[in-house]
Structure 1
Amino acid sequence: MEIINKIEASGIQTLDLRLYKPNDKDFEVFDIVPFLIEDFLLQEKAFRLEMANIDWSQYSGKEVIITCSNDAIVPLWAYVLISSLIAPHASIVVYSATENPINLLWMERIRKIEFSAFMSQKVVLKANSSLPEEILVLAAGQLIKYVQTLMWGEAGSPLMIYKRK
């Protein structure tokens, strides 16, 4: 008697979004605080000079989070300037004022998934309580543009979320 794997035979593809989560070694943080006078004051001329002296190629191919680690009031143009200097080198540049910026990078990675590979497929988003809502919402919003069926849970007992009519 032949054993048949019903899950495999169903054609359901599982997408585990945890595989796209960055870990602490995946990204660099560019903190603006060391470039502020007494950690709180930005002097334009000195700041621009310091930015001009940085070797931005050190960020080549890296994911970079720009942040200010204290409550200094930094003019927005400063972040734009830093981004314009890092972006030609980095693979991703984001700004985060939160203590947990990883979700921003995680979302950028989700946006880069080639969702068209799931065209007319049955897809189950693998359930896990560690997945942040913003990651799930982003992925689901992209998947429904392509999939025939979107489910949640495990391939053996998924919960139906969306079915193309």
Structure 2
Amino acid sequence: MKDILNRVANSPIVTIDLEEFYRSEERVVFDLKEFLYEELVLREKDFRAALKELDWNKFKNKLVAVHCSADAIIPNWAFMLVGTYLTNLHIEYIIGDLQTLEYYLFEKSLSLIDPLVYVGKPVVIKGCSKQPIPLFAYGRILSIVQPYAKSVMYGEPCSTVPLFKASK
């Protein structure tokens, strides 16, 4: 009787699982709305005093999106001032909403990839994940891998959708 061969496991296909690039820290929003007078106006003196009194330790070990959910005109320096407090405590943050934070996190992680690893290889970008992977990350990984790969597919190694095949 012949042994059953797992041709997928023995193939040269390289699988990229974007879930491996997902950061697990809690994401939180620092909302400037809470510091506005009548949710309309930022008063510099009051804002600075409130920031000094804030317990910044509640943001430790979290990823922070500095944002304003109110429909108010907020000067750029206000967002930046919040950033100075977060930076002093080595808290990673972005100025923007949670979606922008996810883009930033994936861009940061994916930029560490050495694309030369994929030279001449068939690549599968895994489709299913337990974590919320933004569509941005799929486009970004494709742009990194495609110039080097022999082919790029989407899905699972046993069932893929071809996306790109290098010309010979």
Q: TM-score range by the shorter chain?
A: 0.7 to 0.9
Aligned residue for 1:9, secondary structure, equals coil
Matched residue of 2:138: which SS? helix
- Cα distance change of structure 1 residues 160 and 35 upon mapping to structure 2, 3 Å threshold: closer
Structure 1 match to 2:61: 61
Structure 2 SS opposite 1:7 = coil
Change (3 A) 1:86 1:161: same
Conserved? CA contact 2:115–2:145, under 8 Å: no
Tell me, yes or no, if the aligned pair for 1:59 and 1:89 is still in contact at 8 Å. no
2:104 alignment partner in structure 1: 108
TM-score between both structures, scaled by the size of structure 2: 0.76
CA RMSD of aligned residues (A): 3.0
Tell me the CA shift for residue 141 of structure 1: 1.9
Whole-Å separation in 1 of the counterparts to 2:146 and 2:4: 33
What is the aligned length?
A: 160
Query: Structure 1 length normalisation: TM-score?
Result: 0.77
State the 1:127 CA deviation.
2.9
- Work out the CA distance in 1 between the residues paired with 2:150 and 2:62: 35
Note the residue ranges of structure 1 that are not aligned, 5 or more in a row.
none
Which runs of 5 or more structure 2 residues have no equivalent in the other structure?
Answer: none
Tell me the equivalent position of 1:161: 164
After TM superposition, the structure 1 stretch with the greater mean CA deviation from structure 2, 139-148 or 72-81, is 139-148
Alpha carbons 1:65, 1:95 under 8 Å: kept: yes
Q: Which residue of 2 aligns with 1:140?
A: 142
Q: Determine helix, strand or coil for the equivalent of 2:114.
A: helix
Secondary structure of residue in 2 paired with 1:151: strand
Conserved in 2, the CA contact under 8 Å of 1:107 and 1:138? no
Is the alpha carbon distance of 1:89 and 1:14 closer, same or farther for their aligned partners in structure 2, counting shifts above 3 Å?
A: farther
For the structure 1 residues 91 and 82, does the alpha-carbon distance in structure 2 shift closer, same or farther, using more than 3 Å as the test?
closer
Distance in structure 1 (CA, Å) of the matches to 2:142 and 2:3: 36
> CA offset at residue 138 of structure 1?
1.6
Q: Establish whether residue 11 from structure 1 lines up as the match of residue 9 from structure 2.
A: no
Identical amino acids, percent of aligned pairs: 26
Tell me the secondary structure at the aligned position of residue 6 of structure 1: coil
Match in the other structure for 2:3: 2
Residues 57-81 of structure 1 show CA distances to partners (whole Å, capped at 9, x for unaligned) of 3322310011112101111111111
- C-alpha offsets along residues 26-50 of structure 1, whole Å, 9 cap, x if unaligned? 2111011111111211111111121
Whether contact under 8 Å (2:22, 2:133) holds in the other structure is: no
Contact 1:63 1:90 in 2 (8 A): no
SS of the equivalent of 1:10 reads coil
Contact 1:18 1:131 in 2 (8 A): yes
